[in-house]
Structure 1
Amino acid sequence: MDSAQPTKPRSTAAFAFIFVTVMLDMLAFGIIIPVLPHLIVSLIGGSIARAAVWSSAFGTVYMLMQFVFSPVQGTLSDRFGRRTVILISSFGLGIDFIVMAMTPALWLLFAGRIVSGICAASFSTANAYIADIVPKEKRAAAFGMMGAAFAIGFIVGPALGGFLGHLSIRLPFWVAAVLSLLNFCYGFFVLPESLPPERRTQRFDWRHANPFGALVLLRRYPQVFALAAVFFLINLAQFSLNSTYVLYTDYRFGWGPQIVGYTLGLVGLCSGLVQAVLVRRLMPKLGERKLIMIGLPICVVGYLFFGLSSAGWLFLLGIPFLCLGGLAGPPAQALMTQQVDPHEQGRLQGALTSLASLAGIFGPALFANLFALFISDHAPAHLPGIAFVLAALLLAAATVLAGYAIRHVRAARPAKNPAPSQPGEFSPMADLVDHQSHPTDQPESSP
């Protein structure tokens, strides 16, 4: 019997845990979205205006902590292993949600949000775990599954938080705590370590752990640096949705909270299907490079529909195009992992998560202020959809940059002599980890 075969169920369980970890992190994040502003209002004495200012500060500090600590966690995972970092983060989130559920003061809630941002930075370590256990040619599909986990949390979290918040404003925090602690317990007994000692870095280097020092890693790999810029532009464009979607659809089409909720749920559902199903099925046929060059232009079309539509039904036509743009992200991330040494996967994912967080720090202010300017009396032109038009331009630039980058990146070759699938087996997670990478695997060097 093949000696690798017994590890397959263990690897499948590990991938399932990482999938659940990302989904629960997003679920816990989404659950508190509808109630956090109301909890802030109750703690400051009922002032909506002051609550709006504090809510903005809460969002900024959360993304700032992600930016600072993602490379720290990535570098720690390269030194001490992925399992330890992920479990500590899950446990820390659980305790933090308990503190926020019981807090009697605004400053303690703010401190809890800082801790949440630090612990939730483990998303970079989860991606590094995927790069450890999934072979190169299947990583795009694996990252697509991670995108699906993100989408599921985005769909379910706010709806569940709104329902629980109707019962008690602090109940969503308790539920988020339970989810995180259950995730910790499950991982403690199930999750194996993906990075053996011989593949770890020998020491923790603060030069690599700070967010700006982490970018030096990207500079060492020119193709990775260019693809990381594409990754940043994709994430920056997405914040046009976060910062203006609700106000724009109300201003342009008169949509209320119910219609907005339904349409956002549709966006999340379509995104999840693209990430979990289409990426996995199209990758073997088209490869990473073609998927990137197909997904980015389609996403440009989606944002233009959003920004230029004069009627609600035309706006809705943009949703499929926008979601199909999700074909580009996972293969771009997979190509980057193929160019970086195995012991630097944590640093790579930490750098990428910091780039996404950096987009989250500046993106909302950029798009929200542009929207406000172009609907004001002193607007240079009346263009309410300016945020989405700018997002389309950013992705057009990303398409050109991606075309340059992928010409110099060699896609992963299929594994030699792959083990045949078991008769009747149908499991996306089992399929992704069917051929686990060996410790001696090295990334293909760029030409």
Structure 2
Amino acid sequence: MMMMMGKLSRLSHLFVTVFLYCFSSVMVVPAITDVTMAAICPGQDECSLAIYLSGIQHAIIGLGSLVIMPLVGNLSDKYGRKVMLTVPMTLHIFPLAILAYSRTTEYYYVYYVLRTMISMITEGSVQCLALAYVADNVAESQRVSVFGILSGIASCAFVCGNLTARFLPTSATFQFAAAGNVVALVYMRAFLPDSTIENVSTSTAKPDTVTETDSLLEKAPQKALKLFKRLPSFRDTASLLGTSHTFSQAAMITFFSTVAEVGAQSSLLYYLKAQFHFDKDQFADLMIISGISGTVSQLLLMPILAPLLGEMKLLSVGLFFSFVHLLLYSIAWASWVPYAAALISIVAIFAMPCLRSIASKEIGPTEQGKAQGCLTGICSFAHVISPLAFSPLSAWFLSDSAPFRFPGFSIMVAAFAGMIAFGLSLMINKAEPMTCCSSADYPFSVEP
């Protein structure tokens, strides 16, 4: 019983950490488009330069994350999730602090450069490490539900962050966001217990006698000497993909679904601003609807549907409605259509937790960080490819030189990338549980 309460405490502190981090991070999303336009193209509703700069930024961040994410996941397997969480959560504060101080053109470009460099390390790190933390502490049979709950917590933070941004002036938004990230970091360092596979496997013998600091002091000298010999390479990633056909299929689906998602994200807000003159408040309203849908879906529907349908079918359902979701955005004929499209997030958001769960079951318990880092690295590769393709396409079809009148054309192309992911999901093999990862290896099982 004490062990079960300890595991519950670990997960509850993780959920609070993720909520605080996501809440403060997404608070700036509705405002950043207006800040960018005001700094680069003041007084305009269409600005190709802003779209190109956003696309270049996403591509550079994706390229850096492609290298960094497998490294972060691999190092967290050796040094602990908490140690590695500290790095991105600390660095993420600095770009926000710049815009909290000033949003003039000069400060915007300083923010742009600093955020690009820092996001190469921070983008996706917290998600990757949180998923690995859950995999350390939850039995395979319950993992998809807990992954869904974790995503639901992030969606709830998404809603709260956008609600806060809806009623805050732009200047205060960035100040609150920077302060919120500091609170998230302090809470994580103060309350979140570390979680590594060594701690999980030895917890039955001495559950609370080894502290994080003692463990690191004992292991750091030996590990430091071997660090550069153990850093993951592209060959290691390829080897990991080859360990399981199901894992490689999940990786392909992850790539195409992320291409679709990032392709739409890189142009959606600029498209809505040009087509329907949306501003910060409308962006926030749209994201609130999407976030509420995702929260209800993952906290209430997914724990019910996952045992009934199975994660394979739920994955296909989520990817199909993700396609419909983007398709509606692309052909929006009135200002209310994007709001209706946002409601489809209640089903579309199933896909990623299912993919993460399927992949985690194909990899042994000592490599969960590496596995999640590999998938996050694949997402990062999609972040490189997608903006390079979709940002010029979006700028072209939003300009006066478009070959035909279809402002949402780039989003429709992104939707068809999502359809490819849906087609691949219909062919994925059923994940077989690893014999070395039976429920005996995980003394705590989270009930949905």
Supply the distance in 2 between the matched residues of 1:311 and 1:100 (Cα, whole angstroms). Answer: 33
Maintained 8 Å contact 1:165/1:171: no
Maintained 8 Å contact 2:66/2:381: yes
Structure 1 counterpart of 2:158, one-letter code: F
Q: Any stretches of 5+ residues in structure 1 without a counterpart?
A: 418-430, 436-447
Q: Report the 3-state secondary structure (helix = DSSP H, G, I; strand = E; otherwise coil) of the residue aligned with 1:67.
A: helix
Which residue of the partner structure matches residue 217 of structure 1? Answer: 240
Deviations 1:143-179 (CA, angstroms, capped at 9, x unpaired): 1122223323333335535755545576235413422
Supply the distance in 2 between the matched residues of 1:350 and 1:283 (Cα, whole angstroms). Answer: 24
Maintained 8 Å contact 2:322/2:345: yes
Give the stretch that moved more between structures: 97-106 or 227-236. Answer: 97-106
Percent identity between matched residues is 21
Maintained 8 Å contact 1:374/1:383: yes
- The reply to whether residue 433 of structure 1 matches residue 446 of structure 2 is yes
Give the stretch that moved more between structures: 162-171 or 308-317. Answer: 162-171
**Residue 71 and residue 370 in structure 1: after superposition, are their counterparts in 2 closer, same or farther (change >3 A)?**
same
Measure how far apart 1:355 and its partner are. Answer: 1.7
Maintained 8 Å contact 2:274/2:398: no
- The reply to whether residue 277 of structure 1 matches residue 277 of structure 2 is no
Maintained 8 Å contact 1:133/1:194: no
Q: Pick one of 123, 133, 139 that aligns with 2:143.
A: 139
Supply the distance in 2 between the matched residues of 1:39 and 1:319 (Cα, whole angstroms). Answer: 23
Supply the distance in 1 between the matched residues of 2:60 and 2:81 (Cα, whole angstroms). Answer: 25
Measure how far apart 1:117 and its partner are. Answer: 4.2
Q: Report the 3-state secondary structure (helix = DSSP H, G, I; strand = E; otherwise coil) of the residue aligned with 1:363.
A: helix
Supply the distance in 2 between the matched residues of 1:100 and 1:245 (Cα, whole angstroms). Answer: 23
Structure 1 counterpart of 2:73, one-letter code: G
Which residue of the partner structure matches residue 82 of structure 2? Answer: 83
**Residue 54 and residue 226 in structure 1: after superposition, are their counterparts in 2 closer, same or farther (change >3 A)?**
closer
**Residue 117 and residue 34 in structure 1: after superposition, are their counterparts in 2 closer, same or farther (change >3 A)?**
farther
**Residue 156 and residue 98 in structure 1: after superposition, are their counterparts in 2 closer, same or farther (change >3 A)?**
same
Which residue of the partner structure matches residue 19 of structure 2? Answer: 23
Deviations 1:39-78 (CA, angstroms, capped at 9, x unpaired): 889999x999899476666555444443332111111111
Supply the distance in 2 between the matched residues of 1:377 and 1:40 (Cα, whole angstroms). Answer: 21
**Residue 306 and residue 89 in structure 1: after superposition, are their counterparts in 2 closer, same or farther (change >3 A)?**
closer
Instruction: Give 1:33-432 correspondences, 5 Å limit.
Output: 33=29, 52=50, 59-93=58-92, 110-111=113-114, 114-119=117-122, 121-161=125-165, 166-168=170-172, 171-172=175-176, 174-187=178-191, 190-196=192-198, 204=227, 209-210=232-233, 213-407=236-430, 409-410=431-432
Structure 2 counterpart of 1:14, one-letter code: R
Structure 2 counterpart of 1:66, one-letter code: S
Q: Report the 3-state secondary structure (helix = DSSP H, G, I; strand = E; otherwise coil) of the residue aligned with 1:17.
A: helix
Structure 2 counterpart of 1:195, one-letter code: I
Which residue of the partner structure matches residue 6 of structure 1? Answer: 2
Maintained 8 Å contact 1:81/1:196: no
**Residue 122 and residue 205 in structure 1: after superposition, are their counterparts in 2 closer, same or farther (change >3 A)?**
farther
Maintained 8 Å contact 1:27/1:156: yes
Supply the distance in 2 between the matched residues of 1:141 and 1:340 (Cα, whole angstroms). Answer: 18
Structure 2 counterpart of 1:245, one-letter code: L
Maintained 8 Å contact 2:69/2:373: yes
Supply the distance in 2 between the matched residues of 1:109 and 1:247 (Cα, whole angstroms). Answer: 17
Structure 2 counterpart of 1:233, one-letter code: F
Measure how far apart 1:432 and its partner are. Answer: 6.1
Measure how far apart 1:128 and its partner are. Answer: 0.9
Supply the distance in 1 between the matched residues of 2:148 and 2:262 (Cα, whole angstroms). Answer: 20
Q: Which has the higher contact order (CA 8 A, sep 6+)?
A: 2
Measure how far apart 1:96 and its partner are. Answer: 7.5
Which residue of the partner structure matches residue 441 of structure 1? Answer: none
Measure how far apart 1:281 and its partner are. Answer: 1.1
Structure 2 counterpart of 1:351, one-letter code: C
Deviations 1:194-229 (CA, angstroms, capped at 9, x unpaired): 421697998646675346743431233221011111
Supply the distance in 1 between the matched residues of 2:176 and 2:48 (Cα, whole angstroms). Answer: 23
Structure 2 length-normalised TM: 0.77
**Residue 27 and residue 210 in structure 1: after superposition, are their counterparts in 2 closer, same or farther (change >3 A)?**
farther
Structure 2 counterpart of 1:337, one-letter code: S
Supply the distance in 2 between the matched residues of 1:211 and 1:164 (Cα, whole angstroms). Answer: 45
Maintained 8 Å contact 1:242/1:364: no
Q: Report the 3-state secondary structure (helix = DSSP H, G, I; strand = E; otherwise coil) of the residue aligned with 1:86.
A: helix
Q: Any stretches of 5+ residues in structure 2 without a counterpart?
A: 202-218
Deviations 1:84-115 (CA, angstroms, capped at 9, x unpaired): 22245444545776688679976587346533
Supply the distance in 1 between the matched residues of 2:245 and 2:438 (Cα, whole angstroms). Answer: 26
Q: Report the 3-state secondary structure (helix = DSSP H, G, I; strand = E; otherwise coil) of the residue aligned with 1:196.
A: helix
Supply the distance in 2 between the matched residues of 1:47 and 1:320 (Cα, whole angstroms). Answer: 31
Maintained 8 Å contact 2:56/2:387: no
Aligned length: 416
**Residue 272 and residue 411 in structure 1: after superposition, are their counterparts in 2 closer, same or farther (change >3 A)?**
farther
Structure 2 counterpart of 1:303, one-letter code: L
Q: Report the 3-state secondary structure (helix = DSSP H, G, I; strand = E; otherwise coil) of the residue aligned with 2:427.
A: helix
